[in-house]
Structure 1
Amino acid sequence: MKTKNIFIASFALLLGLMTFSCTEDFVDMNTNPNASTAANPESLLAPTLHDLVWRNQNRAMRLNNEIMQVHVTTVDSREFHRYFIRPTESDYMWRNWYVQLTDIKDMYAKAEESKLAGFETFKGISLVLEAWTFSMLTDMFGDIPYSEANQGKNGNVTPKFDPQRDVYLGLFEKLEEANTLLTSSGDLPGALTEYDPLYAGNALLWRKFGNSLYLRLLLRASGKSESNAISKIQQITESTPAAYPVFSNALESAILPVGNTQPLTSAFFNFRDFDFNGDKGYSEFFINNLNSWQDPRLPIWATISSGIYAGIPSGWSSGQIPERQSTLQVGLKTDPRLGNIMNHAELQFILAEASLKGFIGGDPKAYYETGIESALAHWDLEMPEDLLERPFISWDENWDFDQKMEAIHMQKYFALFFTDFQQWHEYKRTGHPSLIPGEGTLNGGRMPSRFGYPINVQALNAKNYNEAIQRMGPDNINTKVWWNIEE
């Protein structure tokens, strides 16, 4: 992982003055009480990035990792690994993603107003961040406030819910505009680079992030013909690739280096070791696969238990609490590589699947193997010479389609370690990698398809909420989102 030069003392001062909102008021999704109406676009960028990654790390730990058998709780009352998700879990991400969208939209508006050096670049950056944040919201909930979102200061605190199809098409438009703006605007000038902790104002790298994100969302929507996603994937990768640059190596990945140094601290910076790993252990699924490959990431990620790396079953029955085995290495608490937003390895696995399905040319095996190498490079590891020939990892051309999808998504699963809820979204879309629900799993053993809407949204925006569920289906964890419904 590359070392990033961050000279943002002003960000540290800003964080010292800011407090994160704890209000439960529905207006939070439309207005950010922490935002300054006079803020310059550069003062919004770093705090927004930090807050998004910080909260994504927090909920990846609490929710995604339990649902997706990364690790398993040893607390009987916490039942995410059994597919039991209380409605109250929805509020945290809904509220905080929308709060940051207010700042992201303000970044665009302030850049437009100022017309100062770099304003077009800030507009492009804000559009990439807006597409990323809205994509996390819609992939978790389905239909969401989009076209009328974040308009509380204009008096609209009950925005309509847009169908997810329309949200996705809107995100594609934003990423197109971002690519256009960043193509012509150039890098952030002079001292403004110090306000960008991700790419130091490099417009080309922001384009590569935006277009790589574009491919993530296009592949997710590729099962819906009205998205025109397959044609766009072909355009980006084959017809006009020079117009849509994407990540070309692991060093270009979108990784916010959160760790133990202010102002970019990890979500787990102040955790005691026990808070971080004392009530959970890695799952059998997670550890057994890494063991089968003799994966070099194991000592970075996991502790040894009784002389070996071992996991515990996910979905264990109530009252049958297993004994912890391997746990998270405490060094992960402040490991900057855990600030992953999207990496080059994920992109390679996207291309491997697109090639396997015939959306693009190329060799899925080559993309698959490059993805494995890049996933190790993310952790500053060189690929062992024989890794690609090892059992359970070596690509076999005689595999059928499903076996090849399983291989691609098994490796993608590990490349997405602690990347918000991306493991879950990919599993919902593909059914890979093959997870086996435990004996104590609830919900009929069915993987949740979405989160229910926050309770306060149901109460304070009832008319638009009811219209959304009439369109989508019941507001429960089994109603599928648009891109997950087969045509």
Structure 2
Amino acid sequence: MKKIHIPFLFLLLSCLASCEDFESLQLDPNRTIQASPDLLLTNIETKAFNEISLSAALASRYLTNTDGVSLNQYYGWQRSGYENYDHLKQVVKMEEEAARTNRPAYAALAKFFRSYFVVELTQTFGDIPYAEALKGGEGVFSPVYDKQEDIYLNVLQELNEANTLLANSTETVTGDVIYKGDLKKWQKLVNSFTLRVLMNLSLKENHAGLRVKQRFQEIVNNPAQYPIFTSNSDNASLPFYDLEANRYPYFNSNDLQTAYYMEEGFVTLLQNLKDPRLPKMADVAPSKSSLPEGDLSAYGGVKGSETLDVNKTKVVSGDASKIDARYYNNPVNEPSVALGYAEVQFILAEAVLRGWIAGNADTFYKKGIEASMLTYGVPQEGITAYVQSPEVQLPASRELEYVLTQKYIAFFMNSGWQPFFEQRRTGMPSFDVSGAGVLNQKRIPKRWMYPESEFNLNRQHVEAAIARQYPEGDNINGTMWILKPE
């Protein structure tokens, strides 16, 4: 048989042509390789503003789980995760697309969401990757950990830039399921969130670089340049719909129906205050079913700190109230409030009491109560009677305690871990640790340990961050920089 010899150069060129053809076949000409900023915005909003967390409700002593040992309830948690960086990838992409398509309003929203996700991360762990984070495309796969102090300085700068961009934009924004493209409302959210961030920094009020009090005053004293929330209509709230993947997160949750009960201390607090929100939050205890719904003595709870056997005994006796049935029966229920007008009013009341701004703390305080009650549908006559009742008047020596207590009540089943962070910052209200079920030597943790994956992928930098912050190592009782008085 005659052999056929093919020149090597021909083979090489044929191979290259085949490879090129194969790669070109991987590109679908009918599909874009670029993302639209409006589509990215919708997804980012739903990830950021779905702030309804049973874990946070347990740790913040609103609810008690009676069906198993919950580490959130008994303060025995260990590590948390870096899921927010997955959301931040979308934020970075939206910012890139905003630049590519010359859409500065989306760039402003990207600055806000980057700040929103980053603040939650640093509140959880302490120092985190920031300046070098999400730069894998530039070859940075092991980012350094930025100091919490530097992170907050950058966050405040980004929020200020976002406010300026929004103030100067007349752009039409689509894909917005929160404010329907109303940039004025986004501007209010940016500045209201900045007030939250600044109040989170209350222990650093004397820090020269942060200028906490001065920044706070600049916003409050100049509403034309820095508008903030003025009513519940400004709330950053994610609505739910009776559609697949859009329903209330705990709709049809068997656990919520059978294993979760109101926390005893929270119920007692509302009863002592004669608070009409209690019937909106809880169901009547089975043993008190003969009493009308409006009778606050018809409700009961179990202690989050007690052991399972003690709590189950009380549940079996019928003395404990479940959370109101609408939380698991109604697919729409109430929206998830990520940041609300009520919180802003309580922030302003605290700022007055701290001497940061002028004003009447009592006025802000009562506006915050009214805003919260309106979200529960409490009639105006009931609100008026409550804010005039002796139980909620600000006593001269305990004004801050009362403000923070009402702020805590307003956080029920919304705002994610913010009530826990607030209690960690101020110590108010007191979270019960008296029961035999509490772990961690009956201490309330101050943070979460870094993800295990960081020790596999970025050991050098995470260990440097731990050594810099926590002399006793990576543990849940370490005191991060934000919690150390300046």
TM-score by length of 1: 0.84
Query: Per-residue CA shift, 1:258-278, capped at 9, x if unaligned?
Result: 243356333224x33x22231
Distance 2:158 2:420 in 1: 24
Decide which of 93, 104, 108 is 2:95's aligned counterpart: 108
Contact 2:240–2:335 under 8 Å retained in 1 = yes
Q: How does 1:71-470 map to 2 (within 5 A)?
A: 71-87=63-79, 90-91=80-81, 94-95=82-83, 97-115=84-102, 119-188=103-172, 192-193=173-174, 195-224=175-204, 225-226=206-207, 227-238=210-221, 240-262=222-244, 264-269=246-251, 271-272=252-253, 274-305=254-285, 306-307=287-288, 308-317=298-307, 319-322=309-312, 323-324=314-315, 325-333=320-328, 334-383=331-380, 384=382, 385-396=384-395, 399-400=396-397, 403-417=398-412, 418-440=414-436, 441-470=438-467
Distance 2:43 2:137 in 1: 21
Following TM superposition, by how much is the alpha carbon of 1:204 offset from its aligned partner in structure 2, in angstroms? 0.5
Query: Per-residue CA shift, 1:99-127, capped at 9, x if unaligned?
Result: 11110111111011112xxx111111121
Alpha-carbon distance change, 321 to 349 in structure 1, aligned in 2, over 3 angstroms: same
Distance 2:352 2:304 in 1: 33
Following TM superposition, by how much is the alpha carbon of 1:65 offset from its aligned partner in structure 2, in angstroms? 1.1
Aligned to 1:479: 478
Quick one: which amino acid aligns to residue 103 of structure 1? Q
Following TM superposition, by how much is the alpha carbon of 1:221 offset from its aligned partner in structure 2, in angstroms? 1.1
What secondary structure sits across from 1:420 in the alignment? coil
Quick one: which amino acid aligns to residue 294 of structure 1? K
Structure 2 gaps of 5+ residues are 1-31, 289-297
Contact 1:410–1:433 under 8 Å retained in 2 = yes
RMSD over aligned Cα, in angstroms? 1.8
Contact 1:313–1:438 under 8 Å retained in 2 = no
Contact 1:406–1:434 under 8 Å retained in 2 = no
Quick one: which amino acid aligns to residue 310 of structure 2? Q
Contact 2:49–2:236 under 8 Å retained in 1 = no
Quick one: which amino acid aligns to residue 90 of structure 2? D
Contact 1:353–1:405 under 8 Å retained in 2 = yes
Query: Per-residue CA shift, 1:169-219, capped at 9, x if unaligned?
Result: 11101100100000011252xxx53x1000011111000001000000011
Query: Per-residue CA shift, 1:9-68, capped at 9, x if unaligned?
Result: xxxxxxxxxxxxxxxxxxxxxxxxxxx8511100101112112334x42xx21x211111
Quick one: which amino acid aligns to residue 44 of structure 2? T
Alpha-carbon distance change, 265 to 52 in structure 1, aligned in 2, over 3 angstroms: farther
Which stretch of the first structure deviates more once superposed, 286-295 or 359-368?
286-295
What secondary structure sits across from 2:146 in the alignment? coil
Contact 1:345–1:415 under 8 Å retained in 2 = yes
Aligned to 2:16: none
Contact 2:302–2:311 under 8 Å retained in 1 = no
Which stretch of the first structure deviates more once superposed, 245-254 or 73-82?
73-82
Following TM superposition, by how much is the alpha carbon of 1:431 offset from its aligned partner in structure 2, in angstroms? 0.5
Following TM superposition, by how much is the alpha carbon of 1:356 offset from its aligned partner in structure 2, in angstroms? 0.4
Contact 1:76–1:321 under 8 Å retained in 2 = no
Quick one: which amino acid aligns to residue 101 of structure 2? S
Quick one: which amino acid aligns to residue 391 of structure 2? F
Contact 2:455–2:462 under 8 Å retained in 1 = yes
Aligned to 1:12: none
Query: Per-residue CA shift, 1:297-327, capped at 9, x if unaligned?
Result: 2222211112211111121136434333111
Alpha-carbon distance change, 318 to 331 in structure 1, aligned in 2, over 3 angstroms: closer
Alpha-carbon distance change, 262 to 433 in structure 1, aligned in 2, over 3 angstroms: same
Contact 2:78–2:476 under 8 Å retained in 1 = no
Query: Per-residue CA shift, 1:334-370, capped at 9, x if unaligned?
Result: 4453411100000000000000011000011111011
Distance 1:446 1:186 in 2: 51
Contact 2:239–2:334 under 8 Å retained in 1 = yes
Quick one: which amino acid aligns to residue 311 of structure 1? G
TM-score by length of 2: 0.85
Distance 1:382 1:46 in 2: 34
Contact 2:257–2:322 under 8 Å retained in 1 = yes
Distance 1:265 1:154 in 2: 39
Following TM superposition, by how much is the alpha carbon of 1:290 offset from its aligned partner in structure 2, in angstroms? 1.7
Distance 2:449 2:69 in 1: 20
Following TM superposition, by how much is the alpha carbon of 1:232 offset from its aligned partner in structure 2, in angstroms? 0.5
Following TM superposition, by how much is the alpha carbon of 1:329 offset from its aligned partner in structure 2, in angstroms? 1.8
Quick one: which amino acid aligns to residue 40 of structure 1? S
Which protein is bigger by CA-based radius of gyration? 2
What secondary structure sits across from 2:365 in the alignment? helix
Task: Give the aligned length.
Answer: 429
Alpha-carbon distance change, 304 to 336 in structure 1, aligned in 2, over 3 angstroms: closer
What secondary structure sits across from 2:163 in the alignment? helix
Following TM superposition, by how much is the alpha carbon of 1:164 offset from its aligned partner in structure 2, in angstroms? 0.7
Following TM superposition, by how much is the alpha carbon of 1:293 offset from its aligned partner in structure 2, in angstroms? 2.7
Quick one: which amino acid aligns to residue 476 of structure 1? N
Decide which of 37, 43, 61 is 1:69's aligned counterpart: 61
Distance 1:138 1:43 in 2: 27
Alpha-carbon distance change, 252 to 262 in structure 1, aligned in 2, over 3 angstroms: farther
Following TM superposition, by how much is the alpha carbon of 1:134 offset from its aligned partner in structure 2, in angstroms? 0.8
Distance 1:123 1:251 in 2: 24
Contact 1:375–1:415 under 8 Å retained in 2 = yes
Contact 1:314–1:438 under 8 Å retained in 2 = no
Quick one: which amino acid aligns to residue 251 of structure 1? S
What secondary structure sits across from 1:260 in the alignment? coil
Distance 2:186 2:418 in 1: 20
